[in-house]
Amino acid sequence: MSRIGKKPVPLVAGVSATVSGQTIEVKGPKGTRSFTASDDVTLSIVEGTVKVTPRGTSKRARQQWGMVRSMVDNLVEGVTKGFRKEMEIQGVGYRAAMAGNVLKLSLGYSHDVNFDIPAGVTITSPKNTEIIVEGIDQQLVGQVAANIREWKKPEPYKGKGIRYKGEFVFRKEGKKK
């Protein structure tokens, strides 16, 4: 039995959901998201909540039960609060700046890195060493943040690079004479 799957997903005020077949569409103040569940589970709306139930007792049905419930919960959270990843840049001369729909990163290369912002995501840079990625799709926000971080991962000797806010970077001791 899935402990996560048993809990129904509450639809908060201002959020509406419609189920058609295996597809659920959630509308809220920040936008509209939809998700298509596998055939192993059944989606239903009961008294202002979305209930997910498995269609059998197979291992795959039980796996999909909790996963689909988590996906529906993320849809509701995305259209109400949205998702956010905060990143910080450390290193002398490393900085970020917004130029229209492009994030300009100075990361110690011979050229600036221009990162085009994809649709569905908002990127802001309140300070020149801070980057905030926001959106209603958790997967897209995380992927965009990972793509930005990929340009200069934090290195273990001086800690220079782009890291998530609060991320611990294991530091190594340098060479000794």
What domain count does the chain have?
2
Return contacts of 22-27, CB within 8 angstroms, 24+ apart: 24/50, 24/72, 24/75, 26/72, 26/75, 26/76, 26/79, 27/79
Same domain, yes or no: 94 and 153: yes
Ranges of H-type helices in 35-150: 59-80, 138-150
Residue holding tokens 């569905």?
Answer: 120
The answer to whether 83 and 73 are in contact (CB under 8 A) is no
The answer to whether 106 and 44 are in contact (CB under 8 A) is no
Same domain, yes or no: 26 and 58: yes
pTM summary value: 0.85
**Domain edge (last residue) among 22, 50, 80:** 80
Tell me which residue range forms the domain holding 75: 3-80
**Domain edge (last residue) among 52, 80, 108:** 80
Same domain, yes or no: 64 and 93: no
Same domain, yes or no: 97 and 49: no
Predicted confidence pLDDT, tens digits, the chain (177 residues)? 668 888 898 988 889 889 988 899 999 999 899 999 888 899 889 888 999 999 888 899 888 898 999 999 999 999 999 999 999 999 898 999 998 899 999 998 899 999 999 998 999 999 999 999 999 999 999 999 999 999 999 999 998 999 999 989 899 988 888
Same domain, yes or no: 47 and 88: no
Residue holding tokens 């001791």?
Answer: 173
Residue 169 lies in a domain: no
> Which one-letter amino acid corresponds to residue 110?
S
Same domain, yes or no: 74 and 93: no
Tell me how crowded residue 49 is: count the other CB atoms within 10 A of its CB. Answer: 13
Ranges of H-type helices in the chain: 3-6, 59-80, 138-150
Same domain, yes or no: 90 and 155: yes
Residue 173 lies in a domain: no
